[in-house]
Amino acid sequence: MINASAAVWAEGAPTLQEVMPAEGVFSLIWLLIALPLLGATVLLLGGRRTNTWGPYLAVLTVSASAILGILMVVGLMDRGAEERSIGQSLFTWVFAGQFEANMAFQLDQLSMVFVLLITVVGALIHVYSLGYMQHDPNRRKFFGYLNLFVAAMLLLVLANNYLLLYVGWEGVGLASYLLIGFWQHKPSAAAAAKKAFIINRVGDVGLSIAIMVIFVTFGSVTFDDVFGQASEVNEGTLTAIGLLLLLAAAGKSAQFPLQAWLLDAMEGPTPVSALIHAATMVTAGVYLIARSNAIYDRAVWAATAVVVVGLITIFMGAIIGSAKDDIKKSLAGSTMSQIGYMVMAAGLGPIGYVFAIFHLLTHGVFKAGLFLGAGSVMHGMNDNVNMRRYGALRAAMVVTFITFMAGYLAIIGIPPFSGFWSKDEIIHAAFERSPIIGSLAILAAGITGFYMTRMVAMTFFGKARWEDDAHPHESPKVMTIPLIILALGSTFLGMALLFWGNIETWLEPVVGFSTSTSPLSTEAVIAISLTFVIIGSIIGWISYARREVPIVAPRGSLLTRAARADLYGDAVNEGLIVRPSFWLSRLLIWFDGRVVDGLVNGSAALVGGASGRMRRYQSGFARSYALSMVGGTVLVLLALVLVRLS
Amino acid sequence: MNPSNVVILSAILFSIGAVGVLVRRNAIIVFMCVELMLNAANLAFVAFARTSGNLDGQVVAFFVMVVAAAEVVVGLAIIVTIFRTRRSASIDEPNLLKY
Amino acid sequence: MNTFPWLTALGALPLIGSVVVALLPRSQPRLAKQIALVIALATLAMTIAMALSFDGASTEQFQFVETYPWIPAFGISYSVGIDGIGLVLVALAATLVPVVILAGWHDVDDASSRTTGSVKGYFALILVLETLMIGVFSSIDLFLFYVFFEAMLIPVYFMIGRYGGPQRSYAAVKFLLYSLVGGLLMLAALIGLYVVSANLTGTGTFDYLTLVGLDIDPGMQKVLFLGFFLAFAIKAPLWPFHTWLPDAAAQSKAGTSVLLIGVLDKVGTFGMIRYCLPIFPAASEFYAPVVIGMALIGIFYGAFVALGQHDMKRLFAYSSMSHFGFIALGIFVFTTIGESGSVVYMIAHGLSTAALFLTAGFLMERRGGSSVISDYSGVNKAAPVLAGFFLFAALSSLALPGLVSFVGEFMVLLGAFQKYMFVGALATFGIVITAAYVLRLYQKSMTGPLLPALEGMKDLRGREIAALMPIAVITLVLGLFPAPVLNVINPAVGTLMTTIGVTDPPTTLNPSTTAEGTQE
């Protein structure tokens, strides 16, 4: 399937950058994390006193981090390309024997783009939430959790070693858990939160073991030590590390086979879905793979596994997205699919990393825009999520409609919208590795066109199928302004990063880059993928805008029904893991009570029973005691005599 | 005098005493049988002391007599008390000290 | 070196306090509580002062050593001294006692003298227990250790048997008998050890450092090791010697459970590190595969049984059993990281257990003492602060990175992985089941619709928050900055590794040039 030898594969792999000491604005790297952490602490511990001003404090801390991030990116741009990796060590964190992990940060080109994405999109979503969560009695907590999330996510991307990354990794998992289950009184939300956490924990096992393998191999868990010496390690070990990291990435990024939690995660408030389950946290897996490029470049099989997982998820997500009537779940399927693209690209080696990150950035912006747009629609429709009860909303919510369209055009990849540039580059890179991968990626692009057109058609076009008490209205300014900014990003970010920001040369020192030698020319790839996208879109348009959309979902084909059931991901987990676990649990409880404790209580009963028998011989008759004394004496005497005789 | 005869006498006395303790119910008789056993032991002590030619056995015999006297005092007091409360000197009746 | 008798003074203070409390008139329960709290806080302050004058870089294994002959004929002396491992455990005990007193302020208010003990009695017992805990962690004479080890049973027996739930006497007797069996085995081994020392050196002794220096015949080691190990395995408790724990935990007051599981059970794992490994190195290595097997079974067995529990306290008990599996695993893999991790894990587990039992105690107090999980739902809505602490405790129990339990758990797993790759990898899967049962409990009790019976439930009061807050803060601070603990543990572990003569397996690249474990 992959036609590249290891040597060709690793072409363009980066060399390790020298780490610069943190000076000037960069001595404040810790503050990037500390600000939102402070916000979270104040909001979560401050109690009701902070109800009035707390949410604004949360917006303020994230915005301050964003400004700090912008100052830092300016500072990095001022520096030469070889001086852009900056390290800051605070103190030794965990140490014993040979093991040492520092509380230390590393800001380089890769972390920098993530910092910007997290803080800027995060700040926008905080602002949007001011409007969206206005009437929620617990919104103080909501903002506290959001701030906690931003802090953890920044820790994840700024850590300079795997163990500290793990803290951020589970920290975002915790924030995600808290936010999915934010409306805890709904049992479905609480269950979804628990499910997300536990499935993520399976991925975390992968990360844990990966860190252990890394330590016993390299004697260190610091990125620089590991990547600098990766070439001295045999391929088998690297493959193991790569596969374990892939497991971790699959958990966090909702990739096959750990994808089942993401759709349920839509139980959380919509800004959460936008920030955590579309723009940032779910892309952490891509970050992990791209960050560990030195390992994957030398472990072709692990990289191939990454490509395969990515491809499977692209299609799973797309198929699920095509069948769901819940607008958020449909978008969640789409997120799975788009992250599948990124993961696949990250598995392609140095020709793919840059575009994986590129797509991650554009996707972060346009998908956040789409989710917030969906939230705006729900806000106007009494929180109804069923697209079959939408229709013809374009007149009722003009701003939402226009901004949603920008995101729509970006995700399906129509030039010059941002998604076009990034997705096209990924498809192009995929063709270089293998025509099969490339073709599949193009086919999936066609499906993307279909389900996104379906969504837009069902929501904004066609006839109104509103419920009787629905009075669609445009959302307040505090919500539409972030939408407009994100829509501008969806439109221009791709071009800006590619032509003005030179994303390839920016990221090359960290993740490496080699220009494509694809058999297909760029123009050909664009032409073919656009054709597929347009065909998909037309099918979607004909089926959902031209025809009447029934309010009650038709039974649908076998595939539709499977997709509505999340391709039976839950059923598989339930049948193979959850239920056997509870059977085992019940068996062990029985065993514990009857066998283990039974033995203990049994021996106690034995002693008790024996003593019950024995005491019967204490008859109280003095003469029988005397008889037994005589008998005993006789026995002793006999024994003595026998011993003497023998 | 052959000391073995004396020892045999002591054994016979002891056996009579032991059987008496086991088979008789009357506390007074049981008591007398106990005394018989003690004196059988004393006899054996004195006999062996004479055979081995030192006084240790004789001394022990005196000890036993003293203990026996003390025992008689306590034992008879108990028997009298039991007799007073139960109007009987049978030792099978007071069996309160059982399980 | 300081000549102030720190350890004796530290042990005597709560003992004097308990006498004072016990002598108070019955009609003054409030005064008894106040005195107990003041004494406990004073002990804590003294512990902190002692910890500050503890010299982490000292070359002596034990500091603050005091030795007075006790029964010279048998080589028994009153010798106390403390190393880093003992210090952190004494600190744990000294921290949890005031917390328990504060949290259990009204726990025994309904105690009448006829059926159960009196109010003052409970607090006096807690203080006596504190003395014994300090003693057990700081004895360096094996006989003295044994005396403290067995004496601890007495206050706990009364705390369960007089102040517990409806089945308290069953639980208390089971606990006592089970522990006595272990203690008896240990006594036999102790006498055996004395005889061995008499044979090897001419004069028998119970002095720890002398016994560690002995070169005991491996066959004899294997026998004596079993005596000590079984006592500790019952105390800890390791699978399959655990069945007293769920009963004891389910029947005791929250405070009793905290001291029992949080501190007392640590004596088991502490004993393994302090006595089993250095005195019987050959036997420890011989039995290591068995113990590691028991630990692994315990990790999963405890977790799976906890997954299906209907009773909160029993769930915590089984989860503790699972955690003790991790601790024992770290101890018996013989790597520096594993040993240090085990000690950190002990601290972390003490803290997380305390947080769990105390919050659960506050919760149950508001629902007539029921510990059945299905009696609760949607508590978060009525008592958000309580639910918040409950979640924090739950996260601490599932070793969320950033909390001290993560530091311990990860070090244990890493230490295990370093030596036995598959054991470490397998044990790591335990973290998934831990998350499953902990979050299942949280989901069932705290989220969802509020039960009508819980309507109007009061949130935590100031006193209760004051009891929980220190635990939460320590858990978080040590999770992000464990250096204060690691700085004192690591040298002690280094000495231990030298004593048992094991070096860490080198890493593939960059193996450290010094013999690890000896250097710090």
For C501-512, write each residue's pLDDT tens digit. 888 888 888 776
Cβ-based contacts of A177 with chain C (< 8 Å): 439
Tokens 């693209």 map to which residue?
A: A341
Residue C462, H or E segment: helix C462-480
Strands, sheet with A86-96, edge to edge from the N-terminal-most edge strand: A20-21, A86-96, A99-107
Q: Touching check for A34 and chain C: CB below 8 Å?
A: no
Cα dihedral A291, A297, A302, A305, rounded to 10, equals 80
The residues facing A103 across adjacent strands are A91
Residue type, A157: V
Which helix (H) or strand (E) element contains residue C242?
Answer: none
Interchain contact A535–B (C-beta under 8 A): no
DSSP, residue by residue, C347-400: HHHHHHHHHHHHHHHHHHHTTTT--BGGG---HHHH-HHHHHHHHHHHHHHTT-
Interface probe with C: pick from A93, A141, A216, most Cβ of C within 10 Å: A216
Give the list of residues 6+ apart from residue C400 with CB closer than 8 angstroms, or none.
A170, A174, C406
Q: Is A166 exposed, middle or buried (0-12, 13-18, 19+ CB in 10 A)?
A: buried
Subunit contact B95:A615, Cβ cutoff 8 A: no
pLDDT of residue A518: 67
CA distance linking residue A526 with residue A438, whole number of Å: 12
Interface of A with C in 93-122 (CB under 8 A): 93-99, 103
**Most C CBs within 10 Å: which of A89, A194, A261, A587, as the mutation test of the C interface?**
A194
- The answer on pLDDT for C460 being more than 90 is no
Looking at residue C1, what is its pLDDT?
47
- Interval C300-342: pLDDT, tens: 999 999 998 899 999 999 999 999 999 999 999 999 999 999 9
ipTM of the complex: 0.91
Residue A642, amino acid: L
Contacts of B96 in chain A (CB under 8 A): 620
Q: How confident is the model at residue C518 (pLDDT cuts 50, 70, 90)?
A: very low
- Smallest Cβ–Cβ distance between C401 and the set A91, A95, A167 belongs to A167
- The two tokens of residue C129 are 């227990």
CA distances to A186, A196, A273 from A268, rounded to whole Å, are 10, 11, 7
The reply to whether residue A620 touches residue B95, judged by beta carbons under 8 angstroms, is yes
Burial A198-237 (b: 16+ CB within 10 A, else e): bbbbbbbbbbbbbbbbbbbbbbbbbbbbbbebbeebeeeb
Tokens at C428, concatenated: 């790591």
Ramachandran area for residue C456 (φ above 0: left; ψ -120 to 50: alpha; else beta):
left
Q: Which of A344, A357, A367, A608 is nearest to A503 (CA)?
A: A357
User: What is the chain A residue with the closest CA to B14?
Assistant: A630
Asked if chain A contacts chain C via 3 or more Cβ pairs within 8 Å, the reply is yes
Chains that touch A (3 or more CB pairs under 8 A): B, C
Q: How confident is the model at residue C395 (pLDDT cuts 50, 70, 90)?
A: very high
User: Quick one: average pLDDT of C215-238?
Assistant: 91
Report CA dihedral (C364, C366, C372, C378) to the nearest 10 degrees. -120
- Calpha distance A285→A301 (Å, rounded): 18
Question: How many inter-chain contacts (A to C, CB under 8 Å) are there?
Answer: 182
Q: Read off the pLDDT band of C232 (50, 70, 90).
A: very high
- Give the C-alpha separation, A345 to A255, whole Å: 14
Q: Do A581 and C447 touch (CB under 8 A)?
A: no
Q: Does A611 touch chain C (CB under 8 A)?
A: no
pLDDT tens across C249-293, in order? 988 888 899 999 999 999 999 999 999 999 999 999 999 999 999
Interface test with C, best of A588, A590, A596, A599 (most C CBs within 10 A): A588
Q: How far apart are CA A382 and CA A130, in angstroms?
A: 18
The answer to whether the CB atoms of A96 and C511 lie below 8 A apart is: no
Report how far apart, in Å, the C-alpha atoms of A140 and of each of A44, A57, A632, C391 are.
Answer: 8, 10, 85, 18
C439 contacts on A by Cβ (under 8 Å): 177, 194, 197-198
Which of B22, B95, B97 is closest, CB to CB, to A630?
B22
Over residues B78-97, the mean pLDDT reads: 79
Tokens matching residue B31: 């008591």
| B21–A626 C-beta distance less than 8 A | yes
Instruction: Count the Cβ atoms, other than its own, within 10 Å of residue C334.
Output: 24
Query: Nearest CA to C85 among C298, C327, C290, C342?
Result: C342
For the record, the structure tokens of A463 come out as: 């006839």
Closest Cβ opposite residue B95 in set A615, A621, A626: A621
For residue C130, give the nearest of C114, C151, C109, C102 by alpha carbon. Answer: C151
Going by C-beta distance under 8 Å and a sequence separation of 6 or more, which residues neighbour residue A246?
A206, A289, A302, A305, A306, A309
Could you tell me if A470 lies within 8 Å of chain C, comparing CB atoms?
A: no
Low-confidence ranges of chain A (pLDDT < 50): 1-3
What is the spatial distance between Cα C402 and Cα C386, in angstroms, rounded to a whole number?
21
Detail the DSSP E strand segments found in A135-293. none
Report the distance separating Cα A491 and Cα A15, nearest Å: 34
Residues 6+ apart with CB under 8 A from A7: none
Query: Which residue do the tokens 């073991």 mark?
Result: A209
Q: Which helix (H) or strand (E) holds C271?
A: helix C266-271
Residues of C within 8 A of A584 (CB-CB) are 304
**Cβ distance of A99 and C400 shorter than 8 Å:** no
The answer to whether B21 faces chain A, any CB pair under 8 Å, is yes
Looking at the complex, does the CB of residue B79 fall below 8 Å from at least one CB of chain A? no
Size (chain B), residues = 99
CB A235 within 8 A of CB A299: yes
Torsion of CA C91, C96, C102, C104, to 10 degrees: -150
DSSP summary character for residue A95? E
Between chains, do A201 and C509 touch, taking CB under 8 Å as contact? no
Coil vs helix vs strand at C55: coil
Residue C137: the pLDDT is 94
Least confident of A260-264, C465-469, C512-516: C512-516
CB A33 within 8 A of CB A106: no
Kindly report the nearest CA distance between residue B51 and chain A, in angstroms: 22
pLDDT of residue A395: 84
pLDDT at C516: 42
Collect all residues of chain A within an 8 Å Cβ-Cβ radius of residue B97.
618, 620
Cβ neighbours for C165, distance < 8 A, ≥ 6 positions apart: C171, C250, C251, C252, C369
- Span of A212-221, A558-567, C6-15, C196-205 with lowest mean pLDDT: A558-567
- For chains B and A, tell me whether 3 or more CB atom pairs sit within 8 A of each other: yes
User: Strand pairing partners for A92?
Assistant: A102
The stretch C396-405 carries a mean pLDDT of: 91
Alpha-carbon span B27 to B79, nearest angstrom: 7
Please indicate whether, in this complex, the C-beta atoms of B99 and A618 are within 8 angstroms of each other.
yes
Conformation bin of residue C450: beta by default, left when phi > 0, alpha when psi is -120 to 50: beta
Tell me how close the Cα of A608 comes to any Cα of chain B, in angstroms.
14
Please, what is the average pLDDT of chain C? 89
CB contact under 8 A, A96 and C504: no
As a whole number of angstroms, the distance between CA A72 and CA A112 comes to 8
Between CA A3 and CA A434 the distance in angstroms is 6
pLDDT number for residue C29: 83
Structure tokens at A371: 């989710």
Q: How many CB pairs under 8 A join A and B?
A: 28
Select from A616, A618, A630 the Cβ nearest to the Cβ of B18. A630
Q: Say if the Cβ atoms of A626 and B92 lie within 8 Å.
A: no
DSSP-based three-state secondary structure for A410 = helix
- State whether A630 and B98 contact (CB < 8 Å): no
- Closest Cα to residue C349, out of C453, C466, C261? C261
pLDDT greater than 60 at residue B40: yes
Pair C388, A178: CB distance under 8 Å: no
Q: In this structure, what is the dihedral angle of CA atoms C174, C176, C178, C180, given to the nearest 10 degrees?
A: -160
- Radius of gyration, alpha carbons of chain C: 22
What is the radius of gyration, based on Cα positions, of chain B?
Answer: 16
Asked if C324 contacts A601 with a C-beta cutoff of 8 angstroms, the reply is no
Q: Searching chain C, which residue's CA lies closest to the CA of residue A173?
A: C400
Q: What is the largest CA-CA distance in chain A?
A: 121
Q: Do B92 and A621 touch (CB under 8 A)?
A: yes
Confidence of residue C113 (pLDDT cuts 50, 70, 90): very low
> Which chain A residue lies closest to B95 (C-alpha atoms)?
A620
Which structure tokens are listed for C358? Answer: 């105390």
Q: Measure A409 CA to nearest chain C CA, in Å.
A: 40
Confidence class of residue B63 from pLDDT cuts 50, 70 and 90?
A: very high
Judging contacts by C-beta atoms under 8 Å, the chain C residues touching residue A588 are 301, 304-305, 308
Residues in chain B within 8 Å Cβ distance of A618: 97-99
